[in-house]
Amino acid sequence: MAVLKKGVEERVRGVKLVIFDVDGVLTDGRIIYDDDGKETKSFDVKDGHGIKLLMRAGINAAIITARESRVVLHRARNLGIDLVYQGRKDKLEAFEDILEKTGLKPSETAYVGDDIIDLPVIKRAGFSAAVSDAVDEVKERVDYVAGKPGGRGAAREVAELILKTQGKWEEILKNYLR
């Protein structure tokens, strides 16, 4: 069951950029290696569509991940995400770089994470969310806990929450109901 803390709707209305962790948020957290040692990840198409809907509505997207993987670059390119930070164990440093590059204030950002490495950015972003299977320490500190797990629709759920709160969802639906 999704949980939105009281009084955060105004912060959601100010979001202009959503930053996603990868492993455990855009994927289910599993890392698969083939016989040649190549890494693969599984991404949910609905999550990807949710990110595209955000971008079409004028809300940018970014990725910050502690691991490095060519798979992430392929997925980001496929979705049109230009702000991709890989191999960043200090996610707050990457977050500050994003603010500098975009000219946004922390209050204009959202962050979606699942583990304690995400906590510094969760504390700094204007709006924070976690997937349903995030660790307890993260779920206790975010503004919103999705009803769905990482890699299984949580990113889409957060995207829809933002779009609906900002009053952009009905316009998006109109494009599909013509």
Q: Which of 20, 10, 26, 29 is nearest to 107 (CA)?
A: 10
The 10s digit of each residue's pLDDT in 35-68 is 999 889 999 999 999 999 999 999 999 999 999 9
Of 103, 139, 163, 122, the C-alpha closest to 19 is 122
Strand, helix or coil for residue 4? strand
For range 66-94, the mean pLDDT = 96
Reported as a single tens digit per residue, the pLDDT across 126-146 is 999 999 999 999 999 999 999
Give this prediction's pTM: 0.95
How far apart are alpha carbons 165 and 159 in whole angstroms? 10
Pairing of strands 32-33, 39-40: antiparallel
- Residue 175 clears pLDDT 90, i.e. is over it: no
Residue 80, amino acid: G
How many CB atoms are closer than 10 A to CB 137?
Answer: 13
In angstroms, the CA 129 to CA 122 distance is: 8
Four-CA torsion 28, 50, 153, 144, nearest 10 degrees? 100
Number of structural domains found in the chain: 1
CATH of the domain at 151: 3.40.50.1000
Structural domain boundaries enclosing 39: 3-176
